[in-house]
């Protein structure tokens, strides 16, 4: 028996082409250690969504391997994989479809036949500061509130890895700040897919830049954000006035 991996997630040699022939990924390799917070950065069309959809088997059929806590992402292990890797999509309406917040958060654990449903729902909503909205209808919530509930629907399944796709997209400054504070408090392995470079710099110790289906940089997040030539080469740009140096000192 070989050594047991301590990585929460490992991607090795992942290549994938869509049926129309578009090659989205070219031999991607990276790993995510337990407890790490990693930003996945890259321009539109870089392959970020394609990569994320491979992490819990929504997409498959390419070359290479993906393993989660040592389990290969394949049909045999799919139920366990989807419990271990929770993906929060950019549009919360893709995940909220039940009559109440309570029912939405309970749906995943019930579907997976997990125990302690009420405890899971309560703790997940407390973690995202939405417990007072438990009986509300999701369509009555603001975008920021919906995004929190969408995160809770995944937290209720106690995932090993939490993947967030553009969590700050279309949020006003106050709601964005509150979301960052919430995410900073989560005791989870996080992979944050984002164009919001300041958010990445404040939340993630490490960043991976994906461009044209290949990883072109992988290192300390603030060091990569300080490399203006690297960012420019891959259509990434910090907002005017954002001081990476000040963030590094804080």
237: left (phi over 0), alpha (psi -120 to 50) or beta: beta
Find all residues with CB under 8 Å of 16, minimum gap 6, and list them. Answer: 23, 24, 25, 50, 54, 59, 61, 62, 63
Listed by start position, the domains of the chain span 7-91+160-249
**Cα separation, 247 vs 229, whole angstroms:** 19
Class for the domain spanning 7-91+160-249: alpha beta
pTM for this structure? 0.91
Burial-class residue 208 by CB neighbours within 10 Å (0-12, 13-18, 19+).
buried
Token pair, residue 105, equals 């958060």
For tokens 């629907």, the residue is: 153
Cβ atoms of 11 and 199 within 8 Å: the answer is no
Question: Could you read off the pLDDT tens digit of each residue along the chain, which spans 250 residues?
Answer: 344 445 789 999 999 999 999 999 999 999 999 999 999 999 988 999 999 999 988 998 889 999 998 888 988 888 888 889 999 999 999 899 999 999 999 999 998 888 899 999 999 999 999 999 999 999 999 999 999 999 999 999 999 899 999 999 999 999 999 999 999 999 889 999 998 999 999 999 999 999 999 999 999 999 999 999 999 999 998 888 777 777 765 5
Find all residues with CB under 8 Å of 118, minimum gap 6, and list them. Answer: none
Cβ atoms of 169 and 90 within 8 Å: the answer is yes
């Amino acid at each position: 028996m070989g050594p047991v991996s301590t990585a929460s997630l490992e991607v090795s040699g992942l290549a994938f082409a869509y049926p129309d022939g578009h090659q989205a990924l070219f031999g991607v390799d990276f790993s995510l250690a337990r407890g790490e917070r990693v930003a996945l950065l890259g321009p539109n069309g870089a392959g970020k969504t394609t990569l994320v959809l491979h992490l819990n088997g929504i997409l498959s059929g390419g070359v290479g391997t993906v393993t989660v806590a040592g389990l290969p992402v394949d049909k045999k292990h799919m139920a366990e994989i989807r419990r271990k890797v929770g993906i929060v999509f950019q549009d919360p309406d893709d995940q909220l479809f039940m009559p109440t917040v309570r029912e939405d958060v309970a749906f995943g654990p019930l579907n997976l036949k997990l125990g302690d449903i009420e405890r899971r729902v309560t703790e997940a909503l407390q973690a995202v500061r939405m417990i007072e909205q438990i009986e509300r209808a999701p369509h009555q919530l603001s975008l920021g509130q919906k995004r929190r509930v969408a995160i809770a629907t995944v937290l209720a399944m106690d995932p090993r890895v939490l993947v967030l796709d553009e969590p700050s997209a279309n949020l006003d400054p106050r709601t964005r700040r509150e979301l960052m504070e919430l995410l900073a408090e989560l005791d989870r392995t996080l992979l944050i897919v984002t164009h919001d470079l300041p958010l990445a710099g404040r939340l993630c110790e490490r960043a991976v830049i994906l461009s044209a289906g290949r990883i072109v940089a992988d290192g300390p997040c603030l060091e990569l954000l300080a490399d203006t030539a690297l960012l420019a080469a891959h259509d990434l740009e910090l907002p005017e006035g954002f001081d990476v140096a000040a963030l590094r000192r804080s």
